[in-house]
Amino acid sequence: MDCSVCTTMPLILRPPRNTICGACYEGARSILNMMNKIESDKTMDSPNASPASPSHNSCKSLSTFKRWYAQQLDQMNEHKHQAAFLESFVDAFRAQIHTDITVTPGNHGSPIPSHKAVLATRSEVFKNMLDSDECKAAPTNNITIPELNCEELESLLEFLYRGSLGPEKLEQHVFALSLAADKYGIAYLQKQCEQYMLNSLSISNALDVLEIADTCSNQKLKDTTMKFLVENIQEIVLSLQYEAFVHRSPHLTVQLSRESLKVANNIK
Ligand SMILES: [Zn+2]
Cα-to-centroid distance, 18 and ligand 1 (Å): 11
By the 8 A CB rule, do 255 and 226 touch? yes
Ligand 1 centroid to residue 3 C-alpha, Å: 5
| pLDDT value of residue 17 | 83
Which segment of 36-50, 111-125, 235-249 scores lowest on mean pLDDT?
36-50
**pLDDT of 157 over the 90 cut:** yes
pLDDT digits 0-9 by tens, 45-71: 776 655 544 445 566 788 888 888 999
* CA of 66 relative to ligand 1 center, distance in Å: 19
Q: pLDDT tens across 62-116, in order?
A: 888 888 899 999 999 999 999 888 888 888 999 999 999 999 999 888 999 999 9
Mean pLDDT of the chain: 89
29 Cα to the center of ligand 1, angstroms? 13
pLDDT of residue 134: 74
Cα–Cα dist 200/37, whole Å: 27
Higher pLDDT, 55 or 4: 4
Residues 160 and 121: their CA atoms lie apart, in Å, by 9
Q: How confident is the model at residue 264 (pLDDT cuts 50, 70, 90)?
A: confident
What's the gap in Å between 41 CA and the centre of ligand 1? 30
On the question of pLDDT at 211 being above 80, the answer is yes
Q: Long-range contacts made by residues 255-264, C-beta under 8 angstroms, separation at least 24?
A: 255/226, 256/210, 256/226, 256/229, 256/230, 259/226, 259/229, 259/230, 260/229, 260/230, 260/233, 263/230
Q: Answer yes or no: is pLDDT of 7 > 70.
A: yes
> Is the pLDDT confidence value at 217 over 50?
yes
What distance in angstroms lies between residue 62's CA and the mean position of ligand 1's atoms? 15
Q: Which domains does the chain have, with CATH numbers?
A: 10-86 (no CATH), 88-184 (3.30.710.10), 201-268 (1.25.40.420)
> Ligand 1 centroid vs 4 CA: distance in angstroms?
7
Ligand 1 centroid vs 72 CA: distance in angstroms? 26
Q: What percent of the chain has pLDDT over 90?
A: 66
Cα of 59 from ligand 1 centre, angstroms: 22
What percent of the chain is modeled with pLDDT above 70? 93
Confidence at residue 138, expressed as pLDDT on a 0 to 100 scale: 66
Give CA torsion, residues 230, 233, 239, 241, to 10 deg.
Answer: 30
Distance from Cα 23 to the centre of ligand 1, integer Å: 6
Cα-to-centroid distance, 17 and ligand 1 (Å): 12
Q: What is the whole-number distance in angstroms between the Cα of residue 13 and the centre of ligand 1?
A: 13
Q: What is the pLDDT of residue 52?
A: 46
Report pLDDT for 55: 45
Q: Which residue has the higher pLDDT, 188 or 136?
A: 188
> What is the pLDDT, as a whole number, of residue 146?
94
Q: Output b/e per residue, 131-164; b: 16+ Cβ within 10 A.
A: eeeeeeeeeeeebbbeebebebbbbbbbbbbeee
